[in-house]
Structure 1
């Protein structure tokens, strides 16, 4: 096939382009800007556009299809040309479905834990040399790309994002996959710019549940009351498998779980991650992996990139970077670090970076999210608020929202960095939570100061 990508530089888009090139397709693409690591990865394979911008002349009737990324706008000149010529236009998830409609589709959904659960499943399958197609939202150890597509593999494992499919297809991505096996990890209101009410957001997960094929399998977290209600009230003729947090204990900073073979130490920690593991186990067992085989493999899982990722450690200090930004993720991650390092001072830093987190009405959802931390810091950029065309947020509003009087707040990245690097990190667990980078924080610097 001869395919053109509009907005090829996106994290998901460039990985799909690389996967299809590997499959033998002819690929071209455009974008108005491309950042690292997408830029060098596309360049290495000869897919980096020679110039940034949109070039309608690239769209010809010789194309089999155009794949449209969310970064593009509805009035994109290349998109308009494709419509004019009648070239088939796919969103990213639509094309993934086209590539997988003859496979067994395993889709991992939920407001949180998707990437970790998908990573756990792929880690276990890879450990046992079971080859599958996949799409995951983070770069995994032992995997060259975040997307793999073949003609021969029986299974495809897809991370099921509830965000929109494309500028001209406003359905959530995970509505398009029609799973044979699905998982729901949790439902916690997010993306308020798209789903303005909690009820509207929850409805998307009901639609997802009802999109399973007849006789399909739904694995779900029964400790999440909303998930439990969504799945158990569905009248779709599907099999339902609930999971919950397994029994565990923490000994000298290591988490142990009970298995049929006895106690087993894990490389990761946190109640939410143990919950994720329980869900991944059910999915793997429905893909033909035995319970003992699952535990053997998961014992070597160190975690997904940017998900409680340990970036520096010494005898008395540990530093974690985490993608957490929604209230439920922030609370779960902070609590997990405090439980794991009860004898240490937990310094939790959160950057409010997303549209939802910078919305004055949504801020109240963060109440108590940082309560488990001994010291709590919030950083946000007033400039980011302006860019997103939101109402100004004051420091007092943030303090009130988190319901924490001793909350430290920074709006200047240099002042935040000065504060951070002036701390005595002895006997400390530092947690840096953000989907951004705190206005240019050099995370590698912690490897130099934590020795």
Structure 2
């Protein structure tokens, strides 16, 4: 097949393009800007566009299909040309479904934990040399690409994002996949620029459950009241398997999972990660891995990229960074680090970076999320607020929202970076949480803070 990618530099788009080239397809693409790591990866595979911009002349009648990325707008000149020629135009999830409609589709959904659970499943499969196709939203250790597509593999494991598919396809991505086996980890209102009320957001998960194929399987977190209600109320004729957080305990900064065969030391920690583990175990069992084999493999799982990722460690201090940015994730991640390092001072640094987190009305959702931290920093950029065309946020609003005693709020990157450099990190755990970069903080420099 001959395919053209509009907005090929996207984090998901470039990975799909690489996977399809490895499958033998002819791939071209365009974008108005491409950043790392997409830039280097596309260059490695000789897929980097010769110049930035949109070029309608690239859209020709001999193309089998055009793949439209979320970054491209509805008036994109290449898209308009494709529509004029009557070419098949697919969103990313639509084409992924086309590639997997003859496979057993395992789709991992939920407001939080999707990437970690998907990564756990793939880790277990690789440990036991079980070949599967996949799409995951993060870099994976010992994997060259975050998407793999073959003709021969029976299973595909897909991280099921609830965000919109493209500028001309306003369906949430996970509505399109029609899973044979699905998992829901939990619901916490997110993407408020698209789902303007909690009720609208929850409805997307009901639609997802109803899209599970007839006779399929739903694995769900019964500790989440909203998920439990959806699972119990659906009339879709599917099998349901609830899960809950397994018994575990922390000894000397090590987490031990209680299993039928005794205590199992883990590389991961935190209540939310143990809950993720329980969901992953159910999925792996439905994919043919027995319980003992799951435990053997999961003991070596070190976590997904940017999910409680260890940046640096010394004999008396440790630094983590995490993708957490929504209120539920911030609260869970902060609590996890405090539980694991009970005898250390916990310093939490949160950047408000997403559309939701910079929304003045949404800010109140962050109340109490940093309570487990001994010291807490919140950074946001007034420039980012302007770029997102949101109402201005004052430092007073941040203090009022978090209701955290001794909270420090920064709006200037230089001031934040200087304060962080001057921290006394002896006997402490420093936790960074954001989907941004803290105003250009250099994590190679951060690694030297413990030397």
Which category describes the TM-score, using the shorter chain as reference length?
over 0.9
Query: Does the alignment pair 1:228 with 2:233?
Result: no
Partners of 2:128 and 2:401 in 1: CA distance: 47
Aligned match of 2:390: 390
> SS in structure 2 opposite 1:107?
strand
Partners of 1:95 and 1:439 in 2: CA distance: 35
Aligned match of 2:107: 107
Deviation at 1:44, TM superposition (A): 1.0
Partners of 2:343 and 2:448 in 1: CA distance: 24
Aligned residues: 451
Query: Does the alignment pair 1:413 with 2:440?
Result: no
Partners of 2:281 and 2:265 in 1: CA distance: 16
> SS in structure 1 opposite 2:386?
helix
Partners of 1:64 and 1:155 in 2: CA distance: 25
When the two structures are superposed, what TM-score results if normalisation uses the length of structure 2?
Answer: 1.00
Deviation at 1:119, TM superposition (A): 0.1
Aligned match of 1:338: 338
Aligned match of 1:327: 327
Aligned match of 1:118: 118
Partners of 2:449 and 2:435 in 1: CA distance: 23
Query: Does the alignment pair 1:155 with 2:159?
Result: no
Partners of 2:301 and 2:274 in 1: CA distance: 12
Query: Does the alignment pair 1:288 with 2:284?
Result: no
1:107-165: per-residue Cα shift (whole Å, max 9, x none)?
A: 00000000000000000000000000000001111111000000010000000000000
Query: Does the alignment pair 1:257 with 2:264?
Result: no
Aligned match of 1:301: 301
Partners of 1:368 and 1:359 in 2: CA distance: 17
> SS in structure 2 opposite 1:218?
strand
Aligned match of 1:131: 131
Counterparts of 1:124-203 in structure 2, within 5 Å, are 124-203=124-203
| 4+ long deviations beyond 4 Å | none
> SS in structure 2 opposite 1:70?
coil
Counterparts of 1:50-89 in structure 2, within 5 Å, are 50-89=50-89
Deviation at 1:346, TM superposition (A): 0.2
Aligned match of 1:28: 28
1:11-64: per-residue Cα shift (whole Å, max 9, x none)?
A: 100000000000000000000000011111101111000000000000000000
Query: Does the alignment pair 1:447 with 2:450?
Result: no
When the two structures are superposed, what TM-score results if normalisation uses the length of structure 1?
Answer: 1.00
Aligned match of 1:357: 357
Deviation at 1:446, TM superposition (A): 2.3
1:364-401: per-residue Cα shift (whole Å, max 9, x none)?
A: 00010000000011000000000000000001101111
